[in-house]
Amino acid sequence: MAGDEDDVTLTFGGNATTLLRLGPFTVLTDPNFLHRGQRAHLGYGLRSKRLTEPALQPTQLPALDAILLSHMHGDHWDRIATRSLPKETPVVTTPEAARCLARRGFAGTADLRPWQTHELTSGTTTLRITSVPGVHGPGALDRLLPQVMGSVLELVHDGVAGETVTWRGYLSGDTLYRPFLGEVLERCGPLDVLIPHLGGTRIAGILLTMDGRQGADLVELLKPPVTVPVHFDDYSVFTSPLGDFVAAVADRRLPGDIRTVGRGETVSLRP
């Protein structure tokens, strides 16, 4: 669904599910439509109960230009997504998740390895999606978990003077903080917005997503003018609430604007 050329917003559906309106493009991220009390499958017989009600359901979605999937976990792509999302919509994701979705009938997947790109074009505007590596677990445990990627999204306008990037955002995906994430700035350039996946997910006491402290580490590393945190209170495996992150950023007096967003609310992604 085409939007205003200058419109860059996020509507929060809960967990890591967002509806991004990026100029003429509409992108859904990490579709998770399970209801409160239902359980997401995390692999190896592990499940986690949803504690909140989602603000988006498939019947409420506009026409989509793409779906962006950080990894194949049941709280990021669930059985409702498989059953209800249009099979012809392109899904940009990891090679592992692309193979899984192809078996489920989603043939139009774009499988990206770290730092590879995929582009969507509308008139003179391109949405460039660059895969950023992530680490979902410490050490050897990471190899037992699904491949995970973050994504840099760029709006690129083609004019008489050549290409101009008019907006750039980074969605972290379910990665732990690692200093190598600084390559986002080196390879892509300064950000307009950071959208970190937080929550401090712990299974058997092991940290699998950024908690408040690691989220603040990432803000300090990337120095975005705007940060919109997601993925922080929806499941029973989350141990670090949003307040941990907000307090850590405030304690360090980090620059930039923290824009918290409630389920069903929309915020601007422009500085």
Q: What's the token pair of residue 58?
A: 């498939």
Query: What pLDDT, on the 0 to 100 scale, is given for residue 3?
Result: 45
Residues of the chain with pLDDT > 90: what percent? 88
Confidence of residue 204 (pLDDT cuts 50, 70, 90): confident
CATH code for the part of the protein at 8-268? 3.60.15.10
Q: How far apart are CA 92 and CA 45, in angstroms?
A: 27
Average pLDDT of the residues in 248-270: 97
The helix-helix angle for 242-252 and 212-222 (nearest 10°) equals: 50
Has residue 13 got a pLDDT over 50?
yes
Helices (H), the chain: 79-84, 95-103, 183-188, 212-222, 242-252
Has residue 2 got a pLDDT over 80?
no
Q: How far apart are CA 222 and CA 240, in angstroms?
A: 21
Query: What pLDDT, on the 0 to 100 scale, is given for residue 108?
Result: 83
Span 81-101, pLDDT tens digits: 999 999 999 999 999 999 999
Confidence of residue 159 (pLDDT cuts 50, 70, 90): confident
Average pLDDT of the residues in 250-266: 97
Q: How far apart are CA 230 and CA 242, in angstroms?
A: 9
Average pLDDT of the residues in 194-205: 95
Has residue 53 got a pLDDT over 70?
yes
Higher pLDDT among residues 141 and 66, named by residue: 66
